[in-house]
Amino acid sequence: MVVTTAPAGNHEHCLSSFTEQLLRNRPDFDLSAHKGLILPSSGSHPDNHVIPDLTIVGTREFRGTPPWWRPGAELKMVIEVTGDRPELDRTAKRRSYALGGTPLYLLIDRDRATAMLFHEPSDGDFESHVTTPFGKPLPLPAPFSFDLETADFL
């Protein structure tokens, strides 16, 4: 059994704000908080079981998935909000998501007051990323195709 600390209110607020924007702009997607994903291993994150803060797929694509799931093309994006161990989200999880072919990884970095969108996974990392300071919109590419407002993350 692993016991983790409960997330701080600001952490949950960022997730709530993202969820509200997603549901308003893309009601055809489903999301899960803390869905267990099985991904390829990555150096400092040797166990390949990762639990993102949010996992996004197409409508009804979670149906029939086991608690620990090896995602395929139905995976659209994972979201992490930094907490007590931000380097885990910034480095180890990012690399695991890239190794697993996750098309988009959104990191809401509360310590740095930035939202970073990683895309184009290749060779254990993402080839591209866009960083936006909180308060500025972050354009999300297809299949999302809306600007994520980050002012409420402050």
Q: Which residues of 19-44 are buried (b: 16+ CB within 10 A; e: fewer)?
A: eebbeeebeebbbeeebebebeebee
Are 54 and 19 in contact by the 8 Å Cβ rule? The answer is: yes
Residue 30 reports pLDDT greater than 70 = yes
Span 27-36, mean pLDDT?
Answer: 94
pLDDT tier, 123 (very low <50, low <70, confident <90, very high otherwise): confident
Q: Give the model's pLDDT for residue 41.
A: 72
Are 126 and 77 in contact by the 8 Å Cβ rule? The answer is: no
Span 80-95, mean pLDDT?
Answer: 94
pLDDT tier, 93 (very low <50, low <70, confident <90, very high otherwise): very high
Span 75-82, mean pLDDT?
Answer: 97
Residue 85 reports pLDDT greater than 60 = yes
Q: Give the model's pLDDT for residue 44.
A: 60
Q: What is the pLDDT of residues 99-120, one digit of tens each?
A: 999 999 999 999 999 999 999 9
Q: Give the model's pLDDT for residue 64.
A: 94
Span 62-73, mean pLDDT?
Answer: 94
